[in-house]
Amino acid sequence: MSRTAVTEANQQAPVVGVSQIEIAATPDAVWQVLTAIDRWPSWNPQVKAASLRGDLQKGSEFRWKAGPGTIVSRLAHVEAPRRIAWTGKTMGIKAIHVHTLEGGDAGTVVRTEESYDGMVARLFSGRLRTILDDALEAGLRHLKTEVERRETGRGD
């Protein structure tokens, strides 16, 4: 994988998933929840643990557990409050994950896309695509719930 900035998922990978949701909050409010990586387990039940090493900037590494394996990821692009991207490797899969935030009259549209490449992704592309689609949709629903909970004053 190139050391240049990654700003989108690999559309040529054997597994690619995309999902989006509208959140009734500003991009800044969404960004605050989304980029507090250490706090992901507090609002996303899919994430069992998460720990960012260093600041939220390109090149910083974070470890997190979602599913059977621990994932080591590296921030590849950080453009507050518009786009964050990271790369990661686990169990023979090379992943690229991107969140894009776009403000509008009714709030923020959050689009997430992820690609899986590597031998495992090629061998199990059908099953992995289903798992990825479900995970992306669930992750966005949890993000929406947490951001909107905070916006209504019932949270932090």
> What CATH number does the domain containing 79 carry?
3.30.530.20
Tokens of 50: 């998460």
Asked, for residue 7, whether it belongs to a domain, the answer is: no
Q: How confident is the model at residue 98 (pLDDT cuts 50, 70, 90)?
A: very high
Is residue 13 within 8 A of residue 116, CB to CB? The reply is yes
pLDDT in tens, 40-94: 999 999 999 999 999 999 999 999 998 777 899 999 999 999 999 999 998 889 9
Total residues belonging to the chain: 156
Asked, for residue 5, whether it belongs to a domain, the answer is: no
**pLDDT in the model for residue 2:** 42
Asked, for residue 156, whether it belongs to a domain, the answer is: no
**pLDDT in the model for residue 90:** 85
- As a whole number, the mean pLDDT across the chain is 93
Query: Does 131 score more than 60 pLDDT?
Result: yes
**DSSP alpha helices (H): ranges in 89-124?**
119-123
Determine the residue type at 122: R
Asked, for residue 87, whether it belongs to a domain, the answer is: yes
In the chain, the largest separation of any two C-alpha atoms, in whole Å, equals: 47
Is residue 70 within 8 A of residue 64, CB to CB? The reply is yes
- Pick from 35, 31, 26: which is nearest to 103 by CA? 26
Q: How confident is the model at residue 1 (pLDDT cuts 50, 70, 90)?
A: very low
Determine the residue type at 17: G
Asked, for residue 2, whether it belongs to a domain, the answer is: no
Q: What percent of the chain has pLDDT over 90?
A: 84
Asked, for residue 4, whether it belongs to a domain, the answer is: no
Asked, for residue 40, whether it belongs to a domain, the answer is: yes
Is residue 111 within 8 A of residue 19, CB to CB? The reply is yes
Whole domain around residue 21: which residue ranges?
Answer: 15-151
The pLDDT of 118-122, averaged and rounded, is 96
pTM: 0.92
Q: What percent of the chain has pLDDT over 70?
A: 95
Tokens of 113: 């896309």
Asked, for residue 6, whether it belongs to a domain, the answer is: no
Q: How many CA atoms lie within 13 A of 76 on its CB side?
A: 20
For the chain, the domain total comes to: 1
